[in-house]
Structure 1
Amino acid sequence: MISAIVFDAFGTIVRIRRRTSPYLQLMREGRRQGLSITPESTHFAMTANLPFAGIADYLGISLSASKRIELSEALEKELSSIEPYPDAIRAIAELKDSDILVAVCSNLAQPYGPVVKELFPNIKHHAFSFELGVTKPDPHIYRFICGQMGVDPGHCFDAEKGQVLMIGDSPKCDRDGPRAAGIMGHLLRRDGHGPITDLTQFAQLLLDRNQAERQGR
């Protein structure tokens, strides 16, 4: 039986309607100042439990008052434009109504976490990179969310011990990474080029599978 589902956040259950890319703008400002801004700098922004200004200060990016206001406004505009996918709302409600545990696991900078939680207040289990200090596909983040839910990630093929699934839009982080940790990862292709194209379809497949297993006992 499928006992728990882990969802990715952006591109899976939520989307950004007005993308301003404030962290990308910040990194560009750092390069403009002659700083060595590397992929590790971006990784730090995703794994440090710091506000936007704290990331800038840590990386040594000097922001004038006007630039600080500009980037802060860009961040707030992006945050305020985040909205849930309608199919995500329906799918999560259906899964929870069937007593399937639901969680969110995502690579996020700190300001984005509270927004995701506010949009889905009925989801109580979260694994966010800025809180854990690691990003997907590090196996620790998958083990952590399974521990939060009280499920064992190592039984993805064992119907008797309960199966844990994950779905998201990244082959590396939401399909392959979870599978390496014992979670059956699935790829969501909202562009229509794949077997799973929306979350309502995904939820129905899981519910049908559980129902078939119950009837087969």
Structure 2
Amino acid sequence: MVDGVIFDAFGTLLEIRNRQNSYRRLLRLGSEQGRVASPDDIRWIMAHSRGLEETASAFRIKLEPAQLMELQSALDLELESIQCFDDALLAIECVKEHGIKVGVCSNLAGPYCSRVRSLLPGLDAYALSAETGVLKPDLEMYRIVCAMLDTVPGQILGFETAQVLMIGDSKRCDELGPRSFGIVGHHLNRNGAGRFRSLIEFTSAITHASR
């Protein structure tokens, strides 16, 4: 029995059609000012619900008003360009029609959270890293989303009932990571290299198994 389905957001349900990379551009400005970049910078950004100005302050990056305006305009342009893949809402609705709880679990920066919620309304769980403070593939992220769904993966208790499934475009975060918590993770490869190349294929497999 499938009790819950968790979708990754970007690359799975949503696509960014006009990438501007405002946060990376902010970090480059910091480097130009002599700040030593850290491999953990992006993780920090996605684990804190901060806008560009707050992030610059936290990293001690000096921004002129014109620079902040330019970066914010670019970020707004990118956010506006985010759209659902053609199969996203159909897949969600298909799962819901079978009485299965639906959640989204994603690593993202703070300003992206409201866009995700507006494009994907009415879900049972929104585990967004900027709000939870942890990122996939940290086990805590999978625990949080399952708690939001009010379900426990059957495999974690050694049972085959109450399965929780997850799908996304990252093998590390959406297939292998969830499995370490008892969630049945699946990799989505829209280029066709893998079991599932669309969300319709994935949800069809779920609903067929649920009959």
Q: TM-score, normalised by structure 1?
A: 0.94
More deviation, 134-143/119-128: 119-128
- C-alpha RMSD of matched pairs (Å): 1.1
Residue aligned with 2:166, SS: strand
The equivalences for 1:118-133 within 5 A come to 118-133=118-133
Amino acid at match of 2:135: T
Q: Distance in 2 between matches of 1:208 and 1:28?
A: 49
**Counterpart in the other structure of 1:172:** 172
**Counterpart in the other structure of 1:7:** 7
Q: Distance in 2 between matches of 1:121 and 1:129?
A: 18
CA shift digits 1:164-197 (9 cap, x unpaired)? 0000000110011000011010000011111100
The equivalences for 1:1-217 within 5 A come to 1-155=1-155, 158-159=159-160, 161-211=161-211
CA shift digits 1:140-164 (9 cap, x unpaired)? 00001101111102427743x3100
Q: TM-score, normalised by structure 2?
A: 0.96
Q: Distance in 1 between matches of 2:39 and 2:127?
A: 22
Following superposition, the deviation at residue 124 of structure 1 comes to 3.2
Indicate if the aligned counterparts of 1:143 and 1:153 stay in contact, CA closer than 8 A. Answer: no
Amino acid at match of 1:7: F
Q: Distance in 1 between matches of 2:142 and 2:68?
A: 35
Amino acid at match of 1:148: M
Indicate if the aligned counterparts of 2:17 and 2:83 stay in contact, CA closer than 8 A. Answer: yes
Q: Distance in 2 between matches of 1:57 and 1:207?
A: 48
Indicate if the aligned counterparts of 1:107 and 1:129 stay in contact, CA closer than 8 A. Answer: yes
Residue aligned with 2:3, SS: strand
Following superposition, the deviation at residue 95 of structure 1 comes to 0.5
Q: Distance in 1 between matches of 2:66 and 2:154?
A: 51
Q: Distance in 2 between matches of 1:62 and 1:170?
A: 34
Residue aligned with 1:6, SS: strand
Flag the structure with higher helix content.
1
Q: Distance in 1 between matches of 2:148 and 2:14?
A: 22
Aligned length: 210
**Counterpart in the other structure of 1:215:** none
Indicate if the aligned counterparts of 1:154 and 1:181 stay in contact, CA closer than 8 A. Answer: no
Unmatched runs of 5 consecutive residues or more in structure 2: none
Residue aligned with 2:143, SS: helix
Following superposition, the deviation at residue 113 of structure 1 comes to 0.7
Amino acid at match of 2:72: S
**Counterpart in the other structure of 1:214:** none
Identify if the C-alpha distance between structure 1 residues 205 and 63 changes in structure 2 by more than 3 Å, giving closer, same or farther.
same
Q: Distance in 2 between matches of 1:154 and 1:195?
A: 23
Following superposition, the deviation at residue 133 of structure 1 comes to 1.2
Q: Distance in 2 between matches of 1:124 and 1:91?
A: 15
Q: Distance in 1 between matches of 2:43 and 2:122?
A: 29
Runs of 4 or more consecutive aligned structure 1 residues displaced over 4 Å after TM superposition: none
